[in-house]
Amino acid sequence: MPVEPLSQKEIEDRLAELPGWSVDDVRLTRSYRLGTHFAATAMVVHIAQVQEELDHHSDLTLGYNTVALSVHTHSAGGALTEKDFELAQRVQALAAGHGAQ
């Protein structure tokens, strides 16, 4: 079943539920700061597990003590879809457990 792009109103409504997330050039993005490089690496591994479960993958960047995500749905022509926000919600839920801010 094809994934449908969200309307601007739907994007704004879902974004309001995700503190720290933003839309940058039609991508849903968020950066997290963690206490150490090891903590950031552990969070990347956890995010990778979630992405595999959802079969939906972001651009995921590991810095010294930072993790950055950027996602959109390729199969919807690069638009934002419910899949992007589901991934963001899952990442948001696991971030606190890693001490991410």
- How far apart are the C-alpha atoms of 58 and 7, rounded to whole Å? 20
Express each pLDDT in 50-84 by its tens digit: 999 999 999 999 999 999 999 999 999 999 999 99
Q: Which 3 state secondary structure label does DSSP give 39? A: helix
Express each pLDDT in 12-24 by its tens digit: 999 999 999 999 9
CA distances from 29 to 1, 2, 52, 68, 89 (A): 25, 23, 19, 7, 12
- How far apart are the C-alpha atoms of 15 and 53, rounded to whole Å? 22
Which neighbouring-strand residues pair with 23? 28
Q: pTM of the predicted model, to two decimals? A: 0.96
Q: Residue 87 is encoded by which pair of tokens?
A: 């991934």
